[in-house]
Amino acid sequence: MVVSRIKFAFFLAHPGVFACKIAGKLFSANTPAVAGQAMTKKCALEAIRHSLLSMSCTKKEAMQQPGTIEKADFGVMPDSTKVCIYTLLNHSGITMKVTNYGGIITSLMVPDKNGVAADIMLGYDSLSGYLTKTPYFGALIGRYGNRIAKGKFTLDGKEYTLALNDGPNHLHGGVKGFDKVVWEAEEIKTDSSVGIKLHHLSKDGEEGYPGNLDVTVTYTLNDDNSLVFDYNATTDKATPINLTQHSYFNLAGDGDIKSHELMISATKYNVVDSTLIPTGELRDVKGTPFDFTIAKPIGKDLVAAGGKPIGYDHNFILDTKGIKDLAVRVVEPTSGRTMEVYTDQPGIQFYSGNFLDGTITGKLGKVYQQYSGFCLETQHFPDSPNQPAFPSTTLKPGEKYHTTTIYKFL
Ligand code: BGC
């Protein structure tokens, strides 16, 4: 501790060219939350401020043992409900922070090819950021991930009306979707994993959806560096359901994601209209900017992909046959960080962060510009409740909704 303070003093006195290097070493010794952060000079000073502010709270954190979960306060909701944050550390060097507000993953520290960890997740340092303005950073999405055209659908002969929170459409479960709910949380631990089980009873009529939906979602961080999302639900009335996870990744920990190399095992994608509702046409990716069947940098055909704002915001129809098949691989060439996605879902929304526009300042003072992060939202096709040709998203009483997605880090 004495040595650390001397280092700190030295660092404060020399905030020049060596700032990032020193900060990286210093923080990896004292503050796992920012361990070895791939820091720019600009953010190094912000990191010091952050570290000083949180030192008393992080003392225990610094001692955290692999294979353990630590719980801390994350703040209070406007209605006084307390929100917690859980720090999960596996035996292979990954640290994940999850809050029970929205099931949000606030941070994921993953080692690079040299063992240096960086936070590969976009988001905020504090609950207030998530309460003020968030494009679903790190969040658990439901009852229906993605869009439902004009916020209407008919089920068992009855028409339901949902909030229009995305132009003319309904998006990600509405005004107060599952991303804005305080979930009940339970810590789960085995010899080779650390996890959190989240539970929410979504009442009949919540956000306009029918039926009491009992939802349990478990996030498990295994020692093989796989992060498993297990979604379960039952209902007492037929309802559409399409749960997913909306984490924004940047495998470099900084900068934009255009040089990340992406492979998606999908030979077709859903063509969408100008409001991002599928037209019903499933188009071959061959010869289009949407062909990721052979890995290519995300930036290569990004402009050609078009859209307003320009970029990828499309649902790819997976060729995979189940959870054992590789659906997606993303490689960040400089750090060597690699992420794989496995899922039993029929589609994946690849979103290249097109709507990020520099108006959000997130963790460590980072300003999130367009393409600062990407999402890989495993799910059913958008607007399925209105498109009978698409695989059904209806859950009926007596049925069990169970889906699994794995993000694996190599
Ligand atoms: C949607 C985007 C939306 C983003 C954040 C994605 O899942 O497809 O259109 O802007 O979420 O709101």
Q: Which residues contact 79 (CB under 8 A, 6 or more apart)?
A: none
- Crossing angle of helices 41-62 and 19-30, rounded to 10°: 10
Q: Which residues contact 21 (CB under 8 A, 6 or more apart)?
A: none
Q: What is the pLDDT of residues 387-405, one digit of tens each?
A: 999 999 999 999 999 999 9
Q: Is the CB of 10 under 6 A from ligand 1?
A: no
Q: What is the pLDDT of residues 369-390, one digit of tens each?
A: 999 999 999 999 999 999 999 9
Of the candidates 253, 214, 220, 259, which has an alpha carbon nearest to the alpha carbon of residue 237? 214
Which residue is catalytic, options 61, 206, 332, 377? 377
User: What is d(CA 170, CA 360) in angstroms, rounded to the nearest whole number?
Assistant: 23
* Segment 98-120 mean pLDDT: 97
pLDDT greater at residue 295 or residue 34: 295
Residue ID of nearest Cα to ligand 1 atom 7: 146
Q: Within a 13 Å sphere around the CA of 280, how many CA atoms are in the beta-carbon half?
A: 6
For residue 46, give Cα distances in angstroms to 58, 62, 120, 150, 366.
Answer: 17, 19, 18, 43, 9
Per DSSP, 407 falls in state E
- pLDDT greater than 80 at residue 55: no
pLDDT class for 63, splitting at 50, 70, 90? confident
User: What is d(CA 141, CA 379) in angstroms, rounded to the nearest whole number?
Assistant: 10
Tokens of 132: 């003020």
Tokens of 379: 């799910």
* Segment 293-309 mean pLDDT: 97
Residue 254 alpha carbon to ligand 1 centre in Å: 21
Tokens of 252: 């470099």
Q: Is the CB of 136 under 6 A from ligand 1?
A: yes
User: What is d(CA 135, CA 179) in angstroms, rounded to the nearest whole number?
Assistant: 10
Backbone angles phi, psi at 160, to 5 degrees: -115, 145
Tell me which of 122, 140, 144, 172 to substitute to probe ligand 1's pocket, judged by most ligand atoms within 8 Å of the beta carbon. 172
Residue 374 alpha carbon to ligand 1 centre in Å: 10
Per-residue confidence (pLDDT) for residue 38, from 0 to 100: 40
Q: Is the CB of 349 under 6 A from ligand 1?
A: yes
- Asked whether the beta carbons of 304 and 312 are under 8 A apart, the reply is no
Tokens of 352: 């290249």
Per-residue confidence (pLDDT) for residue 299, from 0 to 100: 98
Residue ID of nearest Cα to ligand 1 atom 12: 135
Q: Within a 13 Å sphere around the CA of 41, how many CA atoms are in the beta-carbon half?
A: 5
Residue 376 alpha carbon to ligand 1 centre in Å: 11
Q: Which residue has the tokens 């504090």?
A: 126
- The least confident of 41-45, 89-93, 102-106 is 41-45
Q: What is the pLDDT of residues 181-216, one digit of tens each?
A: 999 999 999 999 999 999 999 999 999 999 999 999
The mean predicted confidence, pLDDT, of the chain is 88
Q: What is the pLDDT of residues 133-184, one digit of tens each?
A: 999 999 999 999 999 999 999 999 999 999 999 999 999 999 999 999 999 9
Domains delineated in the chain: 1-61 (no CATH), 131-409 (2.70.98.10)
377 annotated active-site: yes
Global pTM? 0.85
Per-residue confidence (pLDDT) for residue 245, from 0 to 100: 98
Q: Is the CB of 313 under 6 A from ligand 1?
A: yes
Backbone angles phi, psi at 226, to 5 degrees: -95, 140
- The least confident of 15-19, 98-102, 220-224, 271-275 is 15-19
Nearest ligand 1 atom to alpha carbon 354: 10
User: What is d(CA 327, CA 263) in angstroms, rounded to the nearest whole number?
Assistant: 8
pLDDT class for 62, splitting at 50, 70, 90? low
Per-residue confidence (pLDDT) for residue 12, from 0 to 100: 37
Tell me which of 140, 175, 313, 356 to substitute to probe ligand 1's pocket, judged by most ligand atoms within 8 Å of the beta carbon. 313
Q: What is the pLDDT of residues 117-134, one digit of tens each?
A: 999 999 999 999 999 999
Which residue is catalytic, options 246, 260, 314, 380? 246
User: What is d(CA 234, CA 164) in angstroms, rounded to the nearest whole number?
Assistant: 26
Residue 190 alpha carbon to ligand 1 centre in Å: 35
Q: What is the pLDDT of residues 68-80, one digit of tens each?
A: 999 999 999 999 9
- pLDDT greater than 90 at residue 231: yes
Residue 136 alpha carbon to ligand 1 centre in Å: 8
Tokens of 382: 């958008």
* Segment 310-329 mean pLDDT: 97
